[in-house]
């Protein structure tokens, strides 16, 4: 009987080694002075940032969901890595954590070095935009676990917050102003519904256009990262809410005290064309509890700080904080 190798079983060690070499320059582009060591050790090392009185470490993990399926079908892999980073670091800042470092997990049926390198290139780009270091990751080649051509992504972001600054709910007061920061598109939520509508129900193709832009380009636009805006206005922000799955109606309550509500004026929301198109086929209530509708992050600020934030960012006012029961009132 002839002998078999790991490669015969579907795992190519040489491809894995080449992949590591391909991604080294992208990973190194994210390093800052707190990174200890290089690439290839058993664990990534990062020095605890200085300047905190009572530092608290925060961690967030997420994936990209079925948006990956569109990337695979379109054979476009350079943006989903940005999505991966964005979904994690945008959560961190809602707890007033400043992102420090990131790790990724890439699992596939068969490692294709060019595709995987494009994914990690996107992850590195997201880390640069987030001003955090990509200090490690794991690539798993698992034939038989994933369908041929499929892969999955998970990300892990770690940051640091000042303990005294973490309770943002206590910072919110009646009369505070609600500011919307625009999303770049659908971001990374609701793609099972997106795919069902556009491709199963409507039979559209990637090349079809909405508002003069190809559908696939709209749908693969990476999630916007709000870390730099957070850092710029940190001392003027009372609270933040990342508008992900559940939309505005389910994410705003996560930062509200039980005796206050968020009163949001729908007509003030700058709804993106992709959502206007989808609203012709999906009930409005379903749209607002599934998608961001053009609002990727919500800031709650004191009235005296609203003008500075609006003029210093691309944000705009969509409502106010009123007496209530911890809910969101869409008017």
* pLDDT tens sequence across 191-214: 999 999 999 999 999 999 999 999
- Residues 151 and 141: their CA atoms lie apart, in Å, by 9
Q: Distance between CA atoms of 141 and 144, rounded to whole angstroms?
A: 10
Q: What is the mean pLDDT of residues 306-315?
A: 96
Identify which has the larger pLDDT, 9 or 33. Answer: 33
Fold of domain 169-330: Phosphoribosyl-aminoimidazole Synthetase; Chain A, domain 2 (3.90.650)
Mean pLDDT computed over every residue of the chain: 95
Query: Can you give the pTM of this predicted structure?
Result: 0.95
Whether residue 5 has pLDDT greater than 90 = no
CB 263 within 8 A of CB 329: yes
Contact 172, 257 (CB under 8 A): yes
Whether 34 contacts 100, CB under 8 Å = yes
What is the mean pLDDT of the segment spanning 235-239? 98
Note whether 13-165 and 169-330 share their fold.
Answer: no
User: What is the CATH code of the structural domain delimited by 13-165?
Assistant: 3.30.1330.10
Q: Provide the pLDDT for residue 8.
A: 65
Query: 132: which strand partners?
Result: none
Positive or negative torsion for Cα 154, 156, 157, 162: positive
Domain spans of the chain, in order of start: 13-165, 169-330
- Confidence check: pLDDT of 271 > 70: yes
In this prediction, residues 14-38 reach a mean pLDDT of 87
Average pLDDT over residues 46-59: 95
- Residue among 117, 112, 107, 45 at smallest CA distance from 81: 117
């Amino acid at each position: 009987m002839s002998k078999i190798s790991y490669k015969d079983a579907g795992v190519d060690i040489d491809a894995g080694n080449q992949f590591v070499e391909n991604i080294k320059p992208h990973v190194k582009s994210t390093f800052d002075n707190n990174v200890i060591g290089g690439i290839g050790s058993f664990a990534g090392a990062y020095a605890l940032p200085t300047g905190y009185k009572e530092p608290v470490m925060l961690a967030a993990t997420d994936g990209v969901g079925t948006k990956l399926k569109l990337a695979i079908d379109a054979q476009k892999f350079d943006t989903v890595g940005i999505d991966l980073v964005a979904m994690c670091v945008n959560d961190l800042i809602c707890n007033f954590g400043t992102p420090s470092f990131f790790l990724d997990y890439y699992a596939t049926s068969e490692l294709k070095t060019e595709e995987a390198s494009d994914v990690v290139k996107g992850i590195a780009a997201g880390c640069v935009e987030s001003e955090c270091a990509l200090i490690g990751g794991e690539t798993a080649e698992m034939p038989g676990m994933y369908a041929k051509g499929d892969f999955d992504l998970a990300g892990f972001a770690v940051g640091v917050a000042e303990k005294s600054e973490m309770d943002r709910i206590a910072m919110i007061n009646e009369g505070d102003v609600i500011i919307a920061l625009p999303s770049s598109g659908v971001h990374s939520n609701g793609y099972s519904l997106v795919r069902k509508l556009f491709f199963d129900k409507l039979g559209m193709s990637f090349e079809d256009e909405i508002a003069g832009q190809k559908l696939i380009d709209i749908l693969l636009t990476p999630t916007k990262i709000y870390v730099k805006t957070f850092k710029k206005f940190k001392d003027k922000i009372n609270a933040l809410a990342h508008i992900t799955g559940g939309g505005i109606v389910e994410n705003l309550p996560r930062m509200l005290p039980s005796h206050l509500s968020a009163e949001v004026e729908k007509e003030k929301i700058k709804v993106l064309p992709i959502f206007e198109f989808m609203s012709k086929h999906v009930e409005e209530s379903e749209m607002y509890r599934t998608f961001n509708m053009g609002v990727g992050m919500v800031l709650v600020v004191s009235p005296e700080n609203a003008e500075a934030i609006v003029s210093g960012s691309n944000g705009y006012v969509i409502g106010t904080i009123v007496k209530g029961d911890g809910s969101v009132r869409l008017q």
